[in-house]
Amino acid sequence: MSTPHEGRDEHADPHLQHHFGSMAQQYDSGKFGMWLFLVTEVLLFGGLFCAYAVYRANHPEIFAYAHQFLDKTLGGLNTLVLIVSSLTMAMAVRCAQLGQQRRLKQMLAATLLCACVFLGVKGVEYEHKWKHGLLWGTRYVPQGETAAPAAAETTVETTVAAAVPADGGTTLPHAATGPEGLADRQQADHDGATHGGHGPMGPAPRNVHLFFGIYFVMTGLHGIHVLAGMVAIVWLLRRSAAGEFGPEYFAPVDFVGLYWHLVDLIWIFLFPLLYLIH
Amino acid sequence: MILSGLLNTLSVRGAGVPFLATGDGTFWLPVRATEAAGTVDNLFYFIFWISLFFFTLLMALLAIFAVRYRRRREGEEPEPSPSHNLAVEVVWTAIPVLLVAAIFWFGFQAYVDMSTPPLDSYQIQVTGQKWKWTFTYPNGYVDELLHVPADRPVQLVMTSQDVIHSLSIPAFRIKRDLVPGRYSKAWFTAVRPGDYDIYCAEYCGTQHSSMLSTVKVLPPEEFDAWLLAHSDILSGLTPVEGGERVYNVLGCKQCHSLDGAAGVGPTFRDLFGSERPLKGGGRVLVDENYVSSSVLDPQSQIVQGFEPVMPTFKGRIKDQEITALIAFLKSLSGHAPRDEAPAAAGAGTP
Amino acid sequence: MSTQDATAAPPAAGSENYLNCSHGFRSWFFTLDHKRIGVMYLASILSFFLLGGILALLIRTELLTPTRTLMSADDYNKVFTLHGAIMIFLFIIPGIPAALGNFVLPLMLGAKDVALPRLNLASYHLYLVGALIAVLSIVQGGVDAGWTFYAPYSTTTNTAVVTLTFGVFVLGFSSVFTGLNFIVTMHKMRPAGMGWFDMPLMLWALYATSIIQVLATPILGITMVLLIVERVMGIGIFDPALGGDPVLYQHFFWFYSHPAVYIMILPAMGIISEVVSVFSRKHIFGYRAIAYSSIAIAAFSFLVWGHHMFTSGQSELMNMIFSALTFSVSIPSAVKMFNWLSTMYKGSIRFDTPMIYALSFMFLFGIGGLTGLFLGSLATDVHLHDTYFVVAHFHYVMFGGTVIAFLAGLHYWWPKMFGRMYDEKWGRISAIVISVGFNITFFTQFVMGSQGMPRRYYAYVDKFEPYHVISSFGSYLMAAGFFMTAWYLVKSLYRGRPAPVNPWGGGSMEWQAASPPVVHNFTDEPVGGDPYDYANQAYDPALGGYVLRKTEVSDR
């Protein structure tokens, strides 16, 4: 097989791939590709934002009630951490462009550290939810001190859950499955919930678990993206330790930077949508 | 409000007078048993003839060009001809636009008619579950075949117990999905007595293709007689047997067990004649009055440990049926003196 | 002068090209050469086409009788699910763009490769991984949810749904990477003299396809993620028992899967634009109209997903809007059809195998497109929805359209890909056999569908038996045509006459590369210009192909 560099200027940058005419063309192609990739990422999360919008529009009470269980302080802290990490990432790109090898490594390490802190805080939040049974679907069994005000609802939830067999069917009697029948049942449930308890959190509406389902899917997918970003940053650190980046060739740092900013941006949307609802 | 207003303005009933009346099927379409079927078929054939005309035209041109301009020897070059013409492009864009606009309009108009039931429709509830259909009539009678009166608008109120099903009656040209947790509606006025197929049109598992039923269109007076004859579910049964039938048919068994296990509601075993604590204080003796009021007004006295989730059966259950149910409850209970059945319970037979 | 002679001459035996430049598994599996990746894609998709085809024959055989013929209802449900999933996700979607498109796109641009060759290879590897995961579901006992995976059936059935949907998720990434790569390539790798409106229409079609791949596939990704999470963790988002909405799943699914049918048909239309013009030896009629209509189809494709749900209970207003938008997408397709016909007018038409397939495409796609009108119209759709009418309609569009165009493209570029000519006589015969078999198979399905026969039925009412028997007979005929095709194509690899550089007289730049091309595609800078201008070519009977006219050459 012929070498990839045949017939080319011997002084060409070793990073220039055979099928491009110039480094500028190569860089532009990579950057354009990266932007398109980010478009697909936005759309991937866009699906979840759609699901969020549909459920919030149909069941605003669930969101108003359930968001109270999220810790605004920890969420705010994480927002701050991610914003700082975006700053350090942007500075890393600049260092790469200016060829400041030492600071490049420092900035990448700082970004990595922020990412670790973010995931650590997220882990604390998840653990808290786990301990208090604030989980998704059938695993939503609120308990413990945070959920204490809502503890009275537990019986309601479990009773209703018992009325809904695991096979997804409904126990509504055949003959009672008129529109009136269902309305009665919902009314009854609602009344039951209202009787069930008025804590500081207010009465629990039906299907609170939907909020936590959406919460875990959105933050979970975001967390996976943070992890992927961390892997990419470690890769950059290794390459920058070898001194590969400089004013002539900084595309990988630039592209990972773009990705990192997007991950940051998604969190900037997630935070108010999940934590700061009114 | 805005939507229904818009739809009313847009839908001009009777604008498309069907030239195909109800009748036998054609090569393309099955027998027509409703008024709407004629409208749908007219539209079908309207699109069909337009399509056939243009398809024939295009394929004729294709064939003519293929023969006329075939290459007779290799190296032959065609005479020069234009490779673009804006006027032609505009024309052959505009003509299809107009045609599809017309097709859209007729289709939409007929659809609005088909989805707007008259207010006086006769309502039948439809339940789909793997893999059978259940039809519940206004008086509570349940059947696995759909019987409908001819010449009277019938509305189906449908829901599913498990996965999505779809009720399809080709002869009526209707189809509607049954989605669990929702109620969907369909309506028709059958005009041609006879038996027609009902299919499940949404894939629902192993026996999807066996989820069939039949709609029997009966002349109105025959329908009334049929319903009357089949509604008396106690006919020919002893009070206890009748009560068990009520227990099964009206769905008590979904929440009230017979073996002592607590369900959503209290078990019926050893219930009658016992004394139960009430939610919010007090006790109640489970006697004839309590059973009757629990069926008709379930929220009034809730036994402790249970939630007020039972729907009322007022208007759906007859006095005789309650009496039979009481007899059935007594037969299950050790607290009840069995030989002291009240005289009224004997009214189970016609 | 001398360079032109070099390009015009057939490859000397043993001359180096991309096929024989290196050997061994690694030289193929880890290649960055778009041509080799294209060939690997081609081999993979054809294998899955064979698998999907065998499943189709099993379906048709089972349906020979109204009750059990050879398998149980559960097995039948698994077979049609896998037939759909394999044909859609493993064959048609990657079919034209990733296999043929990968091969010809850089050649048509006169470029050495796609812009991001490593991403291209990653796309292929992801395809293989996704495909293997999807096939693993067969080993796990199969999946019976239908290729649409409608909730709540798919979330409750006791089969390997998670495996198959995860495979589809991975395949989605493969598709995104291919589309992304093509867009970047067309933006950044066009040669200096080539403006957007100097590109061959195949590239416009691939561009429109890529836009859909990039913008729609992520939604499929998130839909599959939600479905998997729903099944594994039970978050209840599609589960009515937990307050979820199963119809939301349908919206998500069709938001991808409707545009996806244009991922399938648009590149097919691109191939037809090339083939009709080349074999009519006439400039394509209405170049801009065809180019714009590709983009229009891509744009409209995102607005019509709701027409899959006319009977699902969405509001009348929504149905009205989706119906109107659905009709709007038929216009650009009609415009293309008229332009292809006008291209043939006053041409000099040669009926080689690719052209037979192109004519067959126009016939079948014409029927497929026109029957779409019945389904776009609300009142008739209610009757026809989920019947064999729909099955017939999308097979006419997807098979009669996409697969037939794929075959046209495969035969058109086969000499370029492998440097060999196939047996023309057998090519024409099998093209006709496949088209006839196809019509027998699926036209009967229109009739039984409009008579009310629901789709996905294992057993059926006796009155539909004659239709099913005819349909099954047609499918066997079609299968015979495909085996013929496989036979003469494979034979051509060993015994075929060496292909000239330009056997058909194509004007786009891939016909200036050697057959098969060298590793970096062109030994000399290819000559740009109008890809549909055939005036500067002349037929050379000695070569059995076309060469650039000497006068043109000396002018340069």
Q: ∠ CA(C453), CA(C459), CA(C461), 5° rounding?
A: 50
The range of the structural domain enclosing residue B179 comes to 122-231
Asked if pLDDT for residue C81 goes beyond 50, the answer is yes
In this complex, which of B159, B253, B313 lies closest to A177 when CB atoms are compared? B159
Residue A147 falls inside a structural domain: no
Distance from CA of A194 to the nearest CA of B (A): 12
Place of tokens 């796309």: C123
Number of structural domains chain C divides into: 1
Q: C219 and A46 in contact by Cβ < 8 A?
A: yes
Amino acid C105: pLDDT? 95
Mutation for C interface: A2, A6, A18, A19, most C CBs within 10 A? A19
Q: C214 and A36 in contact by Cβ < 8 A?
A: yes
pLDDT band at A175 (very low <50, low <70, confident <90, very high): very low
Residue B233: half-sphere exposure toward Cβ, Cα within 13 Å:
26
Q: A18 and C520 in contact by Cβ < 8 A?
A: yes
Complex ipTM value: 0.90
Asked if pLDDT for residue C1 goes beyond 50, the answer is no
Question: What residue type is assigned to position B150 of the chain?
Answer: A
Q: Which of A148-157, B301-310, C246-255 has the highest mean pLDDT?
A: C246-255
- Asked if C113 has any chain A CB less than 8 Å from its own CB, the reply is yes
The range of the structural domain enclosing residue C38 comes to 2-6+28-555
Pairing of strands B146-149, B153-160: unpaired
Q: C242 and A46 in contact by Cβ < 8 A?
A: no
- Asked if B200 has any chain C CB less than 8 Å from its own CB, the reply is yes
pLDDT band at A129 (very low <50, low <70, confident <90, very high): confident
Q: Which chains touch C (3 or more CB pairs under 8 A)?
A: A, B
Residue C516 falls inside a structural domain: yes
Same domain, B75 and B127: no
Same domain, B66 and B154: no
Residue A6 falls inside a structural domain: no
Average pLDDT, integer, range C206-222? 94
Residue C537 falls inside a structural domain: yes
Same domain, B144 and B186: yes
Q: What's the mean pLDDT when you consider all of chain B?
A: 83
Nearest to C11 by CA among C523, C527, C554, C537: C523
By the 8 A CB rule, do C382 and C303 touch?
A: no
Q: C236 and A28 in contact by Cβ < 8 A?
A: no
Which residues of chain A are within 8 Å of residue C152 when distances are taken between CB atoms? 168
Distance from CA of A68 to the nearest CA of C (A): 20
Question: Of B215, B231, B247, at which residue does a domain stop?
Answer: B231
Amino acid B337: pLDDT? 60
Q: What percent of chain B has pLDDT over 90?
A: 40
Q: B104 and C323 in contact by Cβ < 8 A?
A: yes
- Asked if C379 has any chain B CB less than 8 Å from its own CB, the reply is yes
By the 8 A CB rule, do B157 and B146 touch?
A: no
Give dist(CA C124, CA C118) in Å, integer. Answer: 10
pLDDT digits (tens, 9 = 90+) for C486-513: 999 999 999 999 999 999 989 899 999 9
pLDDT digits (tens, 9 = 90+) for C422-481: 999 999 999 999 999 999 999 999 999 999 999 999 999 999 999 999 999 999 999 999
Q: C348 and B47 in contact by Cβ < 8 A?
A: no
Asked if pLDDT for residue A8 goes beyond 80, the answer is no
* C-alpha separations of A51 from A58, B25, B229, C244, C552 in Å: 11, 45, 50, 10, 61
Query: What CATH code is carried by the domain that includes residue B154?
Result: 2.60.40.420
Asked if pLDDT for residue A32 goes beyond 90, the answer is yes
Residue A88 falls inside a structural domain: yes
pLDDT digits (tens, 9 = 90+) for A69-119: 888 889 999 999 999 999 999 999 999 999 899 999 999 999 999 999 999
pLDDT band at A221 (very low <50, low <70, confident <90, very high): very high
Distance from CA of B304 to the nearest CA of A (A): 13
Q: What's the pTM value of the predicted model, to 2 decimals?
A: 0.83
Amino acid C187: pLDDT? 93
Nearest to A66 by CA among A149, A130, A134, A127: A134
Residue A183 falls inside a structural domain: no
Q: Quick one: closest CA in B to C446, which residue? A: B28
The range of the structural domain enclosing residue A224 comes to 23-140+208-275
Same domain, B207 and B247: no
Q: Which of A122-136, C50-64, C268-282 has the lowest mean pLDDT?
A: A122-136
pLDDT digits (tens, 9 = 90+) for C297-332: 999 999 999 999 999 888 889 999 999 999 999 999
Residue C351 falls inside a structural domain: yes
Give dist(CA B78, CA B53) in Å, integer. Answer: 30
Average pLDDT, integer, range B17-35? 74
Q: A46 and C218 in contact by Cβ < 8 A?
A: yes
Residue A89 falls inside a structural domain: yes
Same domain, B105 and B132: no
Residue A271 falls inside a structural domain: yes
Query: What CATH code is carried by the domain that includes residue C293?
Result: 1.20.210.10
pLDDT band at A11 (very low <50, low <70, confident <90, very high): low
Residue C492 falls inside a structural domain: yes
Q: Which chains touch A (3 or more CB pairs under 8 A)?
A: B, C
Q: Quick one: closest CA in B to A156, which residue? A: B307
Query: What CATH code is carried by the domain that includes residue A91?
Result: 1.20.120.80
Amino acid B165: pLDDT? 94
Number of structural domains chain B divides into: 3
Amino acid C476: pLDDT? 96
Give dist(CA B116, CA B110) in Å, integer. Answer: 10
Same domain, B216 and B293: no
Residue A170 falls inside a structural domain: no
Percentages (nearest 5) of helix, strand, coil residues in chain C: 70, 5, 25
Q: Which chains touch B (3 or more CB pairs under 8 A)?
A: A, C
Asked if pLDDT for residue C96 goes beyond 60, the answer is yes
Residues 188-227 of A with CB under 8 A from B: 188-189, 191-192
pLDDT digits (tens, 9 = 90+) for C378-409: 999 999 999 999 999 999 999 999 999 999 99
By the 8 A CB rule, do A257 and A104 touch?
A: no
Residue C19 falls inside a structural domain: no
